[in-house]
Amino acid sequence: MDSWTEMSAADLGRGIARGDIDPLALTQHFLARIAAHPHKDRIFTVVTADRAIAEATAAASRAQAGARLSPLDGVPISWKDLFDSAGTATEAGSALLAGRRPDADAAVLGAATAMGLVCLGKTHMSELAFSGLGLNPITATSPNVNDPGAVPGGSSSGAAASVAFGLAAAAIGSDTGGSVRIPAAWNDLVGLKTTSGRISLQGVVPLAARFDTVGPLCRTVEDAALLLAALEGGQAIDLSGTKDLAGRRFAILKTIADADLRAAPRAAFTSALERLQNAGAEVVTFEFPDLALAYQEAGPLFPGEAYGTWRDQIEAAPDKMYPPILDRFRAGRDFSAPDFVAAWRRIDAIRADWAKATAEFDAVVCATSPIMPPNIDRLMNDEDYYVTENLMALRNTRVGNLMGTSAITLPTGVPSCGIQLIGPPMGEEALLRLAVSVERALA
């Protein structure tokens, strides 16, 4: 049974299909691990044991009857605490939402449940999802699997920790500026950022709805493909016939994404590129000067929409918020409606140019994060360090959000260092097929 915690979600599903793994025993195993884990209260906001047992019991009956609903039917996963779950506290890491209990499941939770996935519970996150660090003094700061003194990445912090520490087979998080990919990278996982608008946000506590996306954190690219299908209530793409990297073209994103890389991420990225080239890939440099303009336009967009969404709740009780997060939200209050509309018009034009400029490549690549996970104590006591590291953490991942693309991070083999592949909008299927080949080359 101990090996179950090290297996991919896909392998667990195959074990259930063969009759080697009983879904109820599997879920009980994960629940027992959660209960015994020293960091359980820093990872899970609530464990939905009764729901998990009921869902696993039903999955076991379907497996015995040969009527499984999907390849992941009976596999236990965790959910970030911004996905509504009926009758269960969903507070988005914020004291502003303390005691909030929705009446219905979020659409994606409902879809995954209908595909047979088992809900273990809800995981901690950055306050209202507005930080890439995963530091949350208001509720809890989840642990980093590689460094007990460092943050895990955010905002899907507990989601990453639940998988990395073997307390869930996979996790579902959200990504507005890197909130799936940063914690995935810093905890040596695969993290898929889906295209904005592809997956339903119904019942998902918002940050900036035009950027918010839903995506999995998991052990393998195959898991990411299966979880994407479960979130959409559809059939997963077939990855069995994926090709090698011969003839594939990768563009190294220079300028913004390549500047000021810290030593470990730079070395890991360089090593990963060498392995891709050794596997037959062509790697060329790529510059897109208008990306700098897009980052300038981000000023009105992220905090403007976030503050517009939460202004009333924030200003009714600002003392309930961690001051640096409060400051980030309030940075959006001074932008006018014309500023916001004009910024979006310019972003849309830049996105069109990006699509044309990148069409000749299979993916644009960069280090997922230019920095290593920052130290918790220093973040709490050094304001300048907090601001610098928070902005740096999300710098490279925000490319995908600003350009409206699909993107995925893969482990490089160096702890807490990922490589990011940026694909086209709504291009998740092609990106996942490419990522399987990259995963193989990096292994």
Tell me, what CATH number does 62's domain have?
Answer: 3.90.1300.10
Question: What is the distance between the alpha carbons of residues 392 and 397, in angstroms, rounded to a whole number?
Answer: 10
Q: Which of 78, 179, 369, 437 is catalytic?
A: 179
Tokens linked to 249 = 């073209």
Question: What is the distance between the alpha carbons of residues 72 and 223, in angstroms, rounded to a whole number?
Answer: 9
179 is catalytic: yes
Task: For residues 255 and 377, state if they share a domain.
Answer: yes
Cβ atoms within 10 Å of 209's Cβ, excluding its own? 13
Q: Which of 155, 157, 406, 416 is catalytic?
A: 155
pLDDT value at 243 more than 90: no
Q: What is the pLDDT of residue 299?
A: 85
Task: For residues 78 and 115, state if they share a domain.
Answer: yes
What would you report as the CA-atom Rg of the chain, rounded to the nearest whole angstrom? 20
For residue 80, what is the enclosing H or E element? strand 76-80
The average confidence (pLDDT) of the chain is 97
Contact between 193 and 172 under an 8 Å Cβ cutoff? The reply is no
Q: What is the pLDDT of residue 171?
A: 99
Is position 321 within any domain? no
pLDDT value at 2 more than 90: no
Is position 327 within any domain? no
Of the two residues 391 and 73, the one the predictor is more confident about is 73
Is position 262 within any domain? yes
Please provide the DSSP assignment of 381-411 as one string.
H-HHHHHHHHHHHTTTTHHHHHTT--EEEEE
Q: Which of 420, 440, 412, 421 is nearest to 268 (CA)?
A: 412
Instruction: Read off the pLDDT band of 1 (50, 70, 90).
Output: confident
Task: For residues 150 and 204, state if they share a domain.
Answer: yes
Contact between 235 and 214 under an 8 Å Cβ cutoff? The reply is no
Is position 300 within any domain? no
Q: What is the pLDDT of residue 356?
A: 98
Q: Which of 368, 423, 404, 398 is nearest to 249 (CA)?
A: 423
Task: For residues 140 and 204, state if they share a domain.
Answer: yes
80 is catalytic: yes
Is position 166 within any domain? yes
Q: What is the mean pLDDT of residues 45-55?
A: 98
Task: For residues 227 and 256, state if they share a domain.
Answer: no
At 82-110, the pLDDT tens digits run 999 999 999 999 999 999 999 999 999 99
Domain that includes residue 170, residue range: 2-232
Task: For residues 171 and 200, state if they share a domain.
Answer: yes
Question: How many domains does the structure of the chain reveal?
Answer: 2
Is position 316 within any domain? no
Q: What is the mean pLDDT of residues 253-278?
A: 95
Contact between 288 and 360 under an 8 Å Cβ cutoff? The reply is no
Q: What is the mean pLDDT of residues 249-274?
A: 95
Q: Which of 80, 85, 157, 193 is catalytic?
A: 80
Task: For residues 44 and 129, state if they share a domain.
Answer: yes
Q: Which amino acid is at 87?
A: G
Q: What is the mean pLDDT of residues 308-326?
A: 98
Q: What is the mean pLDDT of residues 214-226?
A: 98
Of the two residues 420 and 298, the one the predictor is more confident about is 420
Angle subtended by helix axes 23-36 and 9-18, to nearest 10: 140
